[in-house]
Structure 1
Amino acid sequence: MAGDHDTYHSKDAIKAAISSSAALGGAGFFIAAVHNALQKQNVGAMSVFTRSGGIIAVMAIGGGAYGFTKSAMANLREKDDPWNTATAGFIAGSILGMTTRRMPVVLGLGAAFGAWQGVFEVTGGRLRGWNTAEVEEADFEGKIAQRAAKRRPIEETIAELGEGRGIRPPGYEERRRERLKEKYGVEINPVKATVE
């Protein structure tokens, strides 16, 4: 229905911030753990937090800011479109750039992440660039076409392919015997499997 897509449903910005912060914080922890494991000197397990804790913090804060900004901007504008994602990407990229303490890097990373996220959203939020509604509709139509192709009456299949090659309709053996007798002059008697 076309009318269902026009109404906007508000989103919980705090919930989005917490969930995206936890997800990217976990990814930051993984990156910090790999960074810790690749150190040449033995630094211990706690150095994931003491040495590489900044990676975890920046990714968690950036993820939380991304989730909050995307939902809050959508709620304020009452639209769910790529501008929300681009703005959230700008904020998250700027937070990532703040670790360098240089304003051109902050603005450059913000613009790069914003453009990347905006384009990603415009192309459908997938790497292949299609809309999920179109995919589901095309997939449904494809399944209907497959069912129509697979469920055909045996008479239609025999008429199209012919007999033989594993296709044995009723009366096939008698017709085969007659064809062989006409063509080669050989009469084939069926072999009985039971002993009399």
Structure 2
Amino acid sequence: MASGDDQYHPKDAVKEGVNASLVTGAAGAFISAVQNTLTKRNVGAWGIFTRTGSTVAVFTVMGGAYSFTKSASANLREKDDSLNPALGGLFAGAAMGLKRGTTPAVLGFGALTAIVMGAYDYTGGSLTGYKKDKEIDEFERKQQLRKNRRIPIDETIAQLGEGRGIYAPGYDERRKERIKESYGIDVPAKSSHS
């Protein structure tokens, strides 16, 4: 085991598995109710369990298997990395494949879910992209990126020229001289740009 902040803290796999089973079981009951509502025959309120009850069972088992396996593998390996969600996804996908009743379905759904869940965790567990360091404030990170990409004013003026809100130091004096040479007009001393 590592020392300091990298030390692994065990998780209660049974508790997390039960909690996930309850949450996904409730989601499965909702989806089963929708399925029951959309059937052509009126099967009554108990159709949630009698006609489309396998949906509730599959959702309950998938959630529990995923969460329990993820926590148990983390406890056994004493590591919290992307392999744990992949293993949890393998068991959850296999539970989904059991509804089909064929070995290729069990293996295929298990492999697909393992790849998706492992990749999702590996890329930072976010649909918006990988977060490099969770300790750094996002605003501070963006400010630092802006500072790193700033171009010196001399280089900007060399590329774009002066005007349009971009003025080098001493612009007013150079402008007065150009107007005096070109038009013979004395411009009063006013420093609006410096």
| TM-score under structure 2 length normalisation | 0.69
Superposition misfits of 4+ residues, deviation over 6 angstroms: none
What residue number does 1:73 align with? Answer: 73
**1:128-171: CA deviation from partner (whole Å, max 9, x where unpaired):** 22227448522345589xxxxxxxxxxxxxxx9xxxxxxxxxxx
- How far apart in 2 are the matches of 1:24 and 1:126? 20
Map 1:1-150 → 2, pairs under 5 A: 4-131=4-131, 133-134=133-134, 136-140=136-140
Q: Which letter does structure 1 place at the counterpart of 2:124?
A: G
Q: Mark the CA change 1:41 to 1:136 in structure 2 (over 3 Å): closer, same or farther.
A: farther
Q: Which letter does structure 1 place at the counterpart of 2:75?
A: N
**1:1-52: CA deviation from partner (whole Å, max 9, x where unpaired):** xx65411000000111011111111111111011011112221111111111
Q: Which structure is higher in helix share?
A: 1
- How far apart in 2 are the matches of 1:38 and 1:26? 19
Q: Which letter does structure 2 place at the counterpart of 1:129?
A: G
- How far apart in 2 are the matches of 1:87 and 1:52? 28
* Matched position secondary structure for 2:99: helix
- How far apart in 1 are the matches of 2:5 and 2:55? 39
Root-mean-square deviation (Å): 2.6
* Matched position secondary structure for 1:100: coil
Structure 2 gap ranges (5+): 145-164, 166-194
The aligned length equals 148
Q: Which letter does structure 1 place at the counterpart of 2:28?
A: G
- How far apart in 2 are the matches of 1:73 and 1:91? 12
- How far apart in 1 are the matches of 2:132 and 2:46? 43
**1:33-77: CA deviation from partner (whole Å, max 9, x where unpaired):** 110111122211111111111110111011111111000000000
Moved more, 95-104 or 122-131: 122-131
- How far apart in 1 are the matches of 2:95 and 2:27? 16
**Identical aligned residues as a percent:** 44
* Matched position secondary structure for 1:66: helix
* Matched position secondary structure for 1:72: helix
- How far apart in 1 are the matches of 2:52 and 2:26? 13
- How far apart in 2 are the matches of 1:28 and 1:21? 10
Q: Which letter does structure 1 place at the counterpart of 2:6?
A: D
